[in-house]
Amino acid sequence: LGARVVARAWTDPAFRARLLANGTPACEELGIDMGPTKLVVVENTADTHNMIVCTLCSCYPRMLLGLPPDWYKGRAYRARAVREPRQVLKEFGFDLPDKFNLRVHDSTADMRYMVLPARPAGTEGWSEEQLAVIVTRDCMIGVAAPKVQ
């Protein structure tokens, strides 16, 4: 469901603004039940990249991203994502240029984060359905970027 949310944000500037202002009601507009969870959506831009972690356990927006991957729940990721996030990204095959500010967001029991990845060049004119296909769970955690095939 998160890929649908991202695709809508990429194609609808008003929705994108609502999503960034308060993710929970924006997702509910699309019929996604967020329950009591507060969703904070952080946007990747031309100079900032965001990454999500939960250092205490594995708080994760399951309603949007499905089950968390094992690595997200692991102690190594939870600790290293905060201490050495650029190295962690490299291990995922994502070499973030030094020009980017890297922000790591720590989820809590009451608040979850989701990354709104930057829309890739070459996707102009694509439908929401086409765009949703290139948005992966890892993109919305911030350990990958959408790729145009």
DSSP for 63-112, please give it.
HHH-SPPHHHHSHHHHHHHHH-HHHHHHHTT----TTSEEEEEE--SSEE
User: Any long-range contacts for 125-132 (C-beta under 8 Å, 24+ apart)?
Assistant: 128/4, 128/7, 128/8, 128/10, 128/11, 129/7, 131/6, 131/7, 131/10, 131/11, 132/3, 132/4, 132/6, 132/7
Question: Alpha carbon 32 to chain centroid distance?
Answer: 16
Which pLDDT does position 24 carry in this prediction? 94
Tokens representing residue 1 in the block: 């469901």
Which pLDDT does position 122 carry in this prediction? 93
pTM for the whole structure = 0.92
Q: Could you report the average pLDDT of every consecutive run of 10 residues in the chain (149 residues)?
A: 96 98 95 90 96 85 87 91 95 92 91 95 94 96 91
Unique residue bearing structure tokens 């952080």: 42
Query: What are the catalytic residues?
Result: 54, 57-59
Which pLDDT does position 64 carry in this prediction? 87
Which pLDDT does position 109 carry in this prediction? 81
Q: Identify the DSSP state of 27.
A: H
Provide Rg for the chain, Cα atoms: 15
Which pLDDT does position 29 carry in this prediction? 95
Unique residue bearing structure tokens 């929970």: 24
